[in-house]
Amino acid sequence: MLVSFLAICVHFIDRQADYMNRLDFIWKRQLMAEQEEASTTRTVNKMLLRNILPNHVAEVYLDMNRPHDELFHEEYEYVAVMFASLAGYSLHDDEAGAEEDGLQDDGLGGLKLLNEIITDFDKLLFDNEFHRVEKIKVAGYTYMAACGLEPGRRDSAASHESSRSSSSQGSVQQNTDHTVVLAKFATRMMAVLKALNKDAFQTFNLRVGICHGRVMAGVVGEKKPLYDIWGDTVNMASRMDSTGIPGKIQVLEKTAKLLESQGVKCESRGMTFVKGKGEVQTYFVSVGEDLHLIPQEIVTRKRKFKLNESIDTDDSEFEETAL
Ligand SMILES: Nc1ncnc2c1ncn2[C@@H]1O[C@H](COP(=O)(O)OP(=O)(O)OP(=O)(O)O)[C@@H](O)[C@H]1O
């Protein structure tokens, strides 16, 4: 009797242990699946955030310990800002408007084409040469981008983000060619549009305005947060675009001087009325037929000593570097 009872008890304990082991196994599997799902969600969130926000800003937003009501902002002393508008382009959903645009299609065809153009512009951002260029947004038919929005830059004023990473500030190299990089980016956009025009039998043109200087950057909004930049530099870049000429990159005198000092040729446009400034001298960045920036000519006078030792200064040479 006792033996049977003990046997039943042992069997029961054995079954119980077996049950607990199975349960443990199921729970562990469930936990692993949940952990995997959480990791995938985090990766997707990271990818989405990195698509919406610049990398350094996305990192701040992915920090779980960050207070949710904290305003993210940065101040930069030197950022180059570009507004590039598709001149003569507008989407109409009526036939008359579409014909007016030269788009022998309904609004959808125009939208597809606009998407193609913007996507091709976006692809340029993956080019190593333009890794510092940040697309800010597309507003209507205008592509807005900036160069120089780098955390920890030495010339950046204290900001929420950069103050956190102040320890790394000393090791960050300061770039001074943001305006040149952005002007190059604009010429590549022109080249992309030229190729697209050829394929799609269109005649779109890019009207570009660039300005450089101080900007305030920040993220606004809880839903669909937007990283944007503000300030006089941004307003002026927009006005250089709106008062510009299709196929040209217009800049203020201070930006032309900066570009020239860094080897990029600019030509005077003459006086242009710019809201907030009045009549000001503006310049066009010189772009060649091949849609590359024309280098500033560095005249190296070839001093030719003639027999009578007079100096012939007429024979000058131009040094050119590819831009
Ligand atoms: N962050 C930004 N994103 C997009 N556009 C901007 C931004 N900041 C300024 N702008 C543009 O810069 C231009 C000049 O700014 P301003 O604040 O003077 O507005 P405005 O008086 O309406 O100027 P305008 O009459 O030239 O459009 C505006 O067209 C504005 O849309």
Question: What span, in angstroms and rounded, lies between the C-alpha atoms of 247 and 86?
Answer: 10
Q: Hey, which bits of the chain come out as E strands? A: 73-87, 133-139, 142-147, 156-157, 205-220, 226-230, 249-252, 266-274, 278-285, 298-301, 304-305, 311-312, 316-319
Q: Which atom of ligand 1 is the closest one to the Cα of 228?
A: 1
Q: Is the CB of 238 under 6 A from ligand 1?
A: yes
The token pair that represents 240 in the structure block: 């250089």
Q: Is the CB of 208 under 6 A from ligand 1?
A: no
Question: What span, in angstroms and rounded, lies between the C-alpha atoms of 292 and 21?
Answer: 70
How far does residue 131's CA lie from ligand 1's centre (Å)?
26
Backbone angles phi, psi at 225, to 5 degrees: -55, 140
Q: What is the pLDDT along the chain (323 residues), one digit of tens a residue?
A: 778 888 888 888 999 999 999 999 999 999 999 999 999 988 888 888 888 888 888 888 888 888 878 889 999 999 999 999 998 666 664 555 545 554 445 578 888 889 999 999 999 999 999 999 999 999 999 999 999 997 755 344 334 444 443 333 444 456 789 999 999 999 999 999 999 999 888 889 999 999 999 999 999 987 888 999 999 999 999 999 999 999 999 999 999 999 999 999 999 999 999 998 899 999 999 999 999 999 987 544 444 434 344 333 334 444 445 56
How far does residue 230's CA lie from ligand 1's centre (Å)?
9
Q: Is the CB of 234 under 6 A from ligand 1?
A: yes
Superfamily of domain 67-307: Nucleotide cyclase, GGDEF domain (3.30.70.1230)
User: SS in 3 state form for 278-292?
Assistant: EEEEEEEECECCCCC
ipTM: 0.92
Domain extent listing, the chain: 1-52, 67-307
Res 319: pLDDT: 46
